[in-house]
Structure 1
Amino acid sequence: MFTVFPVLPGTGFLYGGETCTKEFKNSYMKKGFLIACLTAISVLPVSCNKGTDSRLATGDIEKLDAYVEELQQKLPLPCLGVVVMKGKDIYLRATGHRIFSEGQKAVFSERTPFFAGDLSGLLVVTAIARLADEGKLDMDAPVVDYLPYFALADTDIRGIKIKHLINQTGGIPGHSVMWDLPDLSDSALESTTRSIHLQQPEFVPPGSRVKRSPYNFDILADLIAKVTGMAFEDYMKTGVLEPLRMKDSFFPKDETFKASVAWPHAIKNWLTYTTDTVGAYPLNRQHSGSMGWHTSLRDLSGWLFMIMHKGKTAEGARFLTRSTGEKLLAWQRTGEMTAMGYGWEVIPAKTRTMYYKEHSTGNFTAGITMIPSDELAVAVVSNITGDFNTESVRNGIIRWLDREQETPGEVKPLLAAALGQRLEVTGQMDSVFRLYERLKRKKTGAYDYSVLSLEQLGTNLLYRLGEPEKALSFFRYCEQVFPGSDAIKLDLAEASIMNSDSRNAAAYLDQIDTIKPGTPEAGMRVRLLRTALKNRDSAVTKRE
C-alpha cells in the first residue's frame, strides 16, 4: 500500500533562522506541483510490449497517456519522460522540449539523452557486478587491494571492502559535488580518491552504519578504471552500455555532447512560474561515477528491465549471472522501515520490498521506484527542479497499476501561480485576496483551495522573492481563511522573525505549543523556529 498525493501543493518552509544555511533551508522546502501552460508538446507513440493482463496491455493505457500529457501541459516542465514496467510490458512516454526558451525550442523524445545525476551510482554498481562476474574483481575484497593510494588519515582501511562502497557503509566522508571548476583530465577520478586521504572515516567499523556520500561511487569509478586499464567512461561504453544496447547513453569526457541532450531549466519568476534555460551544465569528470551518466528513456527502460529480472535482458540474454543479479537486490536495514541497498534506498517488507532512487541536481529531476517481487517499476524524469515531485507521480501510477484507483492521478493548477500572476500585474495584496475568494466561489473544482495550497505563495514571497512584509500580510490573510491551522501559525512565526518582530513570533509559537502538533515534522519546525528566535534575540541584545 502506498500513500499517494495526486495533487501535492506546496507547503511551508522549515527554517532555522539567520544562522541556518541556504542548503539546510532548501533541504526542508516541502515539495509541490508547479503549474504553467506550455505552448507546445510532442508525444511519441507508446512503446508497449503486449503479453500480460496488466493495465499496460489493455485499453486503460489511454488513461496513462492522458495523465502524462496533462502533467506536462499543466506544470512548467520543459520536458517530461515516463517509463512504466509491469512484467514484460514496457511503456515509454516522452513529451515537451529538451530546450524551451524564447530563442530556441527542440523536441524531447524517448531517444533524447538527459542528465541522470544521482542515478549514476546504479550504473557504476552494475559495472562492478559485471567485472565480478568476469572474475576481474571481488566485491568482498578491500578497496586498497585495487587502489593502493586509497587512504583515510591514519585509519586502517583494509576493512573497507568494495561492497561497503556499493551500499555506502564504509564511512566515506560526504562532500558536495562541484562543476563550477570542472576537471576533464584522465586523472580526475584518481584525484577524487586522493582528495580525502587526510580525513577520518565517518565511523568504524565498516558495515556498521550508513553514510551517504557521492564519493563512494566516484571511488568505485576510479577502481573500475584501474581494474580494466581503461578510462572509466570508455569501459562503461564497451563493458556496460554497448552489451545492454544502450545506444543513447554515455558518460562524457568533454563538452562535445551538449548539442544533442536535454538542457537544464529553472523557474525564473516565482510569481508567474515562467521558465528558461540555465547556462551552467553539470559536468566534471571528478564525479563521473556519482554524476556522469546520461541516458534516454529507451535506454533507462532496458537497464531497468535487466536489474528487475536479475541480470536477464528484455531480449532474453544474460548480462549478469542470476546469483549476481540477485546480489544487486540485497539490502542492509538502517531503521525499522528503511534499508540501504546496492545503490538503492529500500523500504523492506515481507512480501513487497520497494527500491527507489531519486535525484534533483543541476536543474534536473528524476526518480525510480522498483518492486521486483511484482516485476513493477516506474521512472519519471524532467529537465527542471523547482518543486516538481516525481514521488507522488510514481506512487499514483503504481496505485493505478494495482487497480487501487481508476486513474493514475489528478492534476490541478497550482493556486500559487494564479495568485502570483495577479500580484505580478497589480502589485497589491488586496487584489490577490479578492481573486482567491472569487476563484473559490465561482471555480469550485478548478484549483486545490486547501491551506497547504494557499500558503505556497507566502512561502515564495518569504524565501524566493525576499518580500517578508508581503509574506506576513499574506499569511495573516491565510489565518483569516483557516483560523485553526497549525501550519499557518508556523508560517506567521517564520514571517514575524524575518520581519524582526520577536514578540509576535513568540506568541504564535506559544499557540503551536498549546496545540501540540501531531507530526514529528511540525514539532521539529517549532524547535527550529524557537532556536531562530533565541538566536535573533541574543544578537539584538549584544548589539545593544
Structure 2
Amino acid sequence: MPTKLAADLLNSPHWQQRLDTLATKHSVPGAQVGVVALGDDGSVDVRVLTTGLTSLKTKVEVDADTLFQIGSITKIWTTTLVMQLVDEGLLTLDTPVVEVLPEFAIADADNTKNVTVRQLLTHTAGIDGDVFTDTGDGDDCIEKYVTGLASAISVTPAGGHLSYSNTGFVVAGRIVEVLRGQTWDEALTERIYRPLGLTQVVTRPEDAILFRVAVGHLANPDQESAEKVLPTTRWALPRSVGPACTITASMGDLLAFAAAHLRGGLGLTGERILSEESVAAMRVPQFDLAGLSTVDQGWGLGWILSDWNGVSCVHHSGGVIGQIAQLHTFPELGVAISVLTNSHRGAALAHDIETEIARALGLTYPEPEAEPGETDLSALVGAYETTTDRIELSRTKDGGYQVQMVARVEITGEPPMPPLPVTPLSRSRFLVELAGTPFEAAGVTVNGDEHLYMTRLFKKADA
C-alpha cells in the first residue's frame, strides 16, 4: 500500500475542487474530509479539507476546527470504554448485564437475565433499538433511561439475529458509569480525551457552544424553493442517549481517535487507551452478514467489517438531526478516511468522495451486487415495522417495485419522503436509494416470523 500517497493525497488542488463540487451537487452546506496515514518510520500525517458553511442561517464558514456531530460513530468510543473495563478485568464480554446492573430489566424476563455485554456491543441483545426517551439533562439521565426500559420489547431473544440497537449502547454506557463511579461523559474525558490529547470534542450542547459548531440541515418541504435543505430547529438528541450517538468533534480529534485504533490502542501522544488484544478483538467477526449484504461482511464489537478489494475495512457511520458522518479505517494499511457533513444528504457526498479517494489509493469501494437468477420480489411485498418506523414494499403500475418509508415516531424532524424506486438484487434482496445513497435490504425469517433487514429488523405487519 502506498502510504506516502495516502499522506500526500489531499495536498492536490483536485480534491478541494471535488469536495466543493460534490457539496453543491448533494446539497451539503458544509463538510470536512480528512485522511490520517501512518508511515512505516513511525510518522503520522493528518490532512483535512473543508468546504461551505456551518449553517445557511448564520453563514459562518466551516474550518478545520469546526465541530460536527459524529452520531453513531460514538458507539466505537463507548465500545472502547467497555473494552478498557475488560482490559482491567472488571468484567468479561460474556458477563450478564444484570450482574453489573441488578436494576436492569426489559419486558421479557428471560431476555433480561440472558443479555450479555458482548450482545450489547454486537446489536444481538434483542432490545428494541430506538428508544429515545428524554430523561433530562442531569448527571443521572442515563441511569433514569435504563430504569425506564422495563417496558421495552424484545425484537429477538438475547443472542439472536442482529438488529441495530441504540438502546443497547446506552445500557453499555450505564455499565461504564457504574464500574467507573462517574458519568459516561466524565469517563470519556478521563479515559479517552485526556490520554489522546483531544481538546475539540464534547458531548453536551452547553459545551459545544464554546466552539465553532455545524448545524444540521434537513430537506426543504417546499419543493419549489431554490434552497434544497434548511437548518434544523433542533440541534441535538437527548443527553440520555449519549453513549449511542451524541459526541461532537472536529475532524482532527476524530482522526486522532482513529489513529489510536490503527496503532493498536496507542495514541499519538504516546499514551495507551486500550490493549492491542482488545483493539484486535473489536475487529473479530461476531455476526456474519452473508446473504444479507454484499457490501458489509459482518459486525465486530462496535465496528462494521467490510472488504475493499482484498483490503480489510473497519468502519462506522453516524446520522443524527441533519448531520451525517463516515469513518473508514484500514488497519492493514495504517490509513483512515473520514467525512463529516451537516446535511441529511451527507452520505451521498461521503460515498462519492470516499469512492474517489479509495480509487486513488488502489482500493475499491464495495457496491451492492445483484445475484444471478430470478429477481422477483413478490414474496417480500407487504408492510414491515419497528416501534419507530414502517416500510411498505409494493408493486408499481409498470410492474416494478417501490418502498414507502413512514416514521411512526418522530425523532429527527425529517419531512415525509415520497415513494422510492427499488432495484431487485435477488428474490430476497433489493436496493433502495436513501438521500442519494444506495442501501441494501433483505428478507429474512427470524424465529418463524418474516422480517425485512435494513440494519434493523422490521417485522412483517399483520395484513
Verify same fold: TM over 0.5.
yes
Query: Structure 2: how far apart are the matches of 1:394 and 1:91?
Result: 14
- 1:59 to 1:184, Cα distance in 2 relative to 1, 3 A: closer
Q: Which residue of 1 aligns with 2:175?
A: 223
Bigger radius of gyration, 1 or 2? Answer: 1
Cα deviation for residue 230 of structure 1 reads 0.9
Which residue of structure 2 lines up, in the alignment, with residue 400 of structure 1?
360
Matching residue of 2:145: 192
Partner in structure 2 of residue 108 of structure 1:
62
Looking at structure 2, the residues matched to 243 and 251 of structure 1 have their Cα atoms a distance apart, in angstroms, of 17
Question: Could you tell me which amino acid in structure 2 is paired with residue 384 of structure 1?
Answer: S
> CA deviation digits over 1:29-56, x for unaligned, max 9?
xxxxxxxxxxxxxxxxxxxxxx943243
Name the residue aligned to 1:422.
none
Equivalent residue, structure 2, for 1:361: 320
Larger mean CA deviation between 299-308 and 383-392 belongs to: 383-392
Aligned-CA RMSD value: 3.4
Number of the residue aligned with 2:332:
373
- Partner of 1:325, secondary structure, is helix
Q: How does 1:373-452 map to 2 (within 5 A)?
A: 373-386=332-345, 388-389=347-348, 390-402=350-362
| Contact 1:119-1:358 within 8 A present in 2 as well | yes
Does 2:232 match 1:323? no
Structure 1 position 319, deviation (Å): 2.1
The one-letter amino acid of 1:293's match is I
Which residue of 9, 27, 47 maps to 1:76?
Answer: 27
Distance 1:235 1:77, change over 3 A: same
| Structure 1 residue 74 displacement after superposition | 4.6
* Alpha-carbon distance in 2 for matches of 1:228, 1:391: 38
Which structure's residues are more often strand, by fraction?
2
Q: Is the 8 A contact 1:143 1:160 kept in 2?
A: yes
- Cα 1:85–1:493 shift into 2, 3 Å: closer
Q: Is the 8 A contact 2:237 2:320 kept in 1?
A: no
The one-character-per-residue Cα deviations of 1:247-275 (angstroms, maximum 9, x if unpaired) are: 111221x6453363211223434342444
Structure 1 runs of 4+ aligned residues shifted over 6 Å read 490-495, 522-525
User: CA offset at residue 95 of structure 1?
Assistant: 2.2
Alpha-carbon offset, residue 182 of structure 1: 6.0
CA distance in 1, matches of 2:186, 2:430: 45
1 CA distance for matches of 2:174 and 2:55? 33
Quick one: which of 76, 89, 100 aligns to 1:122?
Answer: 76
Structure 1 or 2: more helix by fraction: 1
Report what 1:290 is aligned to: 244
Q: 1:381 to 1:351 in 2, by over 3 A?
A: same
Structure 1 distance, partners of 2:98, 2:51, is: 46
Instruction: Specify which of 418, 430, 435 is matched with residue 521 of structure 1.
Output: 430
SS at match of 1:77: coil
Separation (CA, whole Å) in 2 of partners of 1:114 and 1:494: 31
Aligned AA (2:34): V
* Aligned counterpart, 1:67: 18
Match of 1:423 in 2: none
- 1:443-477 Cα offsets, whole Å, 9 max, x none, are xxxxxxxxxxxxxxxxxxxxxxxxxxxxxxxxxxx
Counterpart AA for 1:62: P
Residue of structure 2 aligned with 1:173, choices 122, 128, 153: 128
1:233 aligns with 2:185: yes
The DSSP-based 3-state class of the residue aligned with 2:72 is helix
Q: What residue in structure 1 maps to residue 386 of structure 2?
A: none
- The residue aligned with 2:377 is none
Q: 1:162 to 1:96 in 2, by over 3 A?
A: same
Flag structure 1 segments of 5+ consecutive residues without an equivalent: 1-50, 406-485, 496-511, 528-544
- Select the residue among 238, 242, 247 that pairs with 2:199: 247
Is the contact between residue 218 and residue 290 of structure 1 (CA under 8 Å) also seen in structure 2? yes
Distance 2:401 2:266 in 1: 55
- Percent identity for Structure 1 against Structure 2: 18
Q: Structure 1 residues 403, 128: CA separation in 2 closer, same or farther (over 3 Å shift)?
A: closer
Give me the TM-score of the superposition, normalised by structure 2. 0.71
Count of residues paired in the alignment: 371
